[in-house]
Amino acid sequence: MTSTPPRPAGPGAPDRSPSPQPPAVPTRRTGRVVVLVSGAGTNLAALLAAHDEPAWGGRVVGVVSDRPEAGGLGLARAAGVATAVVAPGDFADRPAWDAALAEALAVFRPDVVVSAGFMRILGQPVLGRFADRVVNTHPALLPAFPGAHGVRDALAYGARVTGCTVHVVDAGVDTGPIIAQAAVEVRPDDDEQSLHERIKVVERALLVEWVGRIARGGLRVEGRRVSIPAEGRA
């Protein structure tokens, strides 16, 4: 099939050729939420409990895991949410897995990707394709105590207050711009398990609140600053 090119406008006719478009505003209007899980999916369960509320503003449309036995997959299926498994062992190397994960996420056309207990560092194929649209939670008040043992490290340091952080994911380890934080007191008799359990309660509420706010208002990242444009606040 061939197409006929448009004829030039005659004298005096309005010019209907496409006008130059302004550059895209770095704001993500969100609604379609995809969740990455590796384990039981307690944060996913909190998001699923919220997404039936119209006022929340978002909808979990897909759950992707690196482990076929992850409990979060069962939660998703029980809620009628589509799932996908991208297991590293099924691919020849890390770059192949990174590319496959990006493709699996893209199938769901996400507006925001939530890393909810996903125990893998995300590579450039995901972060480049979904720039400023991947958010994560961490059980400490970043930039203090990043990494896999944030609760243990806070206790070992003697911190009197720790907490949790929701942040944008970048190429570093817990180094992305901070979206929101909440404090949790460290009690004298706390061990790692007791402190972590109290942090998890606060963390789930914080994640649900801010994913919902992003869903309703969009997300803008400018340097280290994150704002929700429709709410008119940082």
Active-site annotation, residues: 138
CA 164 from chain centre, in angstroms, equals 15
Q: Go through 91-125 and write b for each residue having 16 or more CB atoms within 10 A of its CB, e for each that does not.
A: eeeeeebbbbbbebbeebebbbbbbbbbebebbeb
Q: Are 123 and 189 in contact (CB under 8 A)?
A: no
The letter for the amino acid at 151 is V
CA angle 68, 47, 202 (to 5 degrees): 110
CA 228 from chain centre, in angstroms, equals 15
